A and B are shown apart, each in its own frame.
Chain A
Amino acid sequence: QGQLQESGPGLVKPSQTLSLTCTVSGGSVTSGSFYWNWIRQPAGKGLEWIGRVYSSGSTNYNPSLKSRVSISLDTSKNQLSLKLSSVTAADTAVYYCAREVAATTSLFDYWGQGTLVTVSS
């Protein structure tokens, strides 16, 4: 069974870079069976797909965020990371990491519990 846990600063200043980590247990981020995704949700609003990374390191990003986002793997720690630059208040949200089954498009089968990031000075 996969387990995912997000971590990182809960408060980020405007114009700075948001950095989050998702620690994966019960599976390896190097497994070719999965993609590893980041998804966010502003308070009271809907879910927004941010992007994903594959075991090879290849990535796909939401076109609306592509210029500011970077997702990568740290295989030594079995983690994935998210970096979002030049943040504004609009980036305040709960950020989730989620595992996607590579052989089954659109199946996000395990999610972390989410971590709230607030952008404020």
Chain B
Amino acid sequence: QTVVTQEPSFSVSPGGTVTLTCGLSSASVSTTHYPSWYQQTPGQAPRTLIYTTNIRSSGVPDRFSGSILGNKAALTITGAQADDESDYYCVLYLGSGIYVFGTGTKVTVL
């Protein structure tokens, strides 16, 4: 079974920078996995941040950016703000119409 692993939690200071990663158990993550990133606050549906590796969804601040770092997908928050405190999930496309979500990262801003 394919597992997509994210860091369980991160803490960042206001104004600081944090990079979350998204790794694949069976292979290196590449652009062909079309990594996307979603932000979720408690009790709410996820919100699209980044898709196709590095394209920001409409209305997403430019402090959020996506990339491939080494063999993983990455989401970087530059200049973190209090309302960035959320859970973040990556999604990878495995081909043949199959998706898998990452395990999620809880980001605390303090």
Binding site for B on A (CB under 8 A): 37, 39, 46-49, 52, 60, 62-64, 96, 104-109, 111-114
Give bound CA distance, A104 to B58, whole Å: 14
Q: Assess the B93–A46 pair: CB atoms within 8 A.
A: no
Q: Assess the B52–A106 pair: CB atoms within 8 A.
A: yes
Q: How far is the CB of B58 from chain A (nearest CB, A)?
A: 9
Q: Assess the A108–B91 pair: CB atoms within 8 A.
A: yes
Q: Assess the A112–B93 pair: CB atoms within 8 A.
A: no
Contact of B52 among A39, A46, A60, A104 (CB under 8 A): A104
Binding site for A on B (CB under 8 A): 1, 34-36, 38, 40, 45-48, 51-52, 57, 89, 91-93, 96-104
Q: Assess the A46–B99 pair: CB atoms within 8 A.
A: no
Chain A contact residues: helix, strand, loop or mixed: loop
Q: Assess the B48–A108 pair: CB atoms within 8 A.
A: yes
Contact of A63 among B34, B35, B52, B98 (CB under 8 A): B98
Which chain B positions have C-beta within 8 A of A109? 48, 57
Give bound CA distance, A47 to B35, whole Å: 15
Q: Give the most central of A105, A109, A112, A113: most B CB within 10 Å.
A: A105
Give bound CA distance, A105 to B45, whole Å: 20
Give bound CA distance, A109 to B60, whole Å: 12
Per CB-CB distance, the 10 closest pairs between chain A and chain B, nearest first, are A60-B97, A111-B45, A106-B34, A106-B36, A105-B34, A107-B51, A46-B104, A47-B101, A49-B99, A106-B93
Which chain A positions have C-beta within 8 A of B104? 46-47
Q: How far is the CB of B68 from chain A (nearest CB, A)?
A: 14
- A46-B89, A96-B45 known; A108+B38 contact, CB < 8 A: yes
**6 residue pairs A–B, Cβ–Cβ below 8 Å:** A47-B40, A49-B98, A60-B98, A105-B52, A106-B51, A108-B48
Q: Assess the B1–A64 pair: CB atoms within 8 A.
A: yes
Q: How far is the CB of B57 from chain A (nearest CB, A)?
A: 7
Q: Assess the A60–B101 pair: CB atoms within 8 A.
A: no
Which chain A positions have C-beta within 8 A of B103? 46
